[in-house]
Amino acid sequence: MSENKDITFAGHNYKADYKFKITTGQKADGAIQTKEVKTQGDEYEPLIALNLDMHRDTYAMGKERGYNMVSPYVKGREPV
C-alpha cells in the first residue's frame, strides 16, 4: 500500500474575505509538486493574482529550503 505524501494548508483571510487552500505532494521521482492552489471569495480579479502569487511563492520557498520542486513555469521562461 502506498503512503500518501500530500500536504494541505488552508486558511481564511477575514479582513479581505477570501479562503485559500494549497496542496503539495511528492511525485514518484521524489520531486515536490504543487497539486492544487484554490482561492474562494467575492472578488474575481484579485483572486487570480493571489492564486498565481501563492503558486509562485510555494515554488520559491521550496527551492530556498533545498527541495527538488517541479517548476510551475514554462521551460525557458523561469524567473531569474
All structural domains of the chain with their residue ranges: 7-64
10 pLDDT more than 90: yes
Helix (H, G, I), strand (E, B) or coil at 35: strand
Print burial letters for 63-80: b (CB count within 10 Å at least 16), e (below 16).
eeeeeebbeeeeeeeeee
pLDDT in tens, 18-55: 999 999 998 888 889 889 999 999 888 888 888 888 88
**Could you give the percent of the chain with pLDDT greater than 70?**
90
Return d(Cα 76, Cα 4) in angstroms, integer.
31
For the chain, give the mean pLDDT.
86
Mean pLDDT over 54-68 rounds to 90
Return d(Cα 57, Cα 15) in angstroms, integer.
21
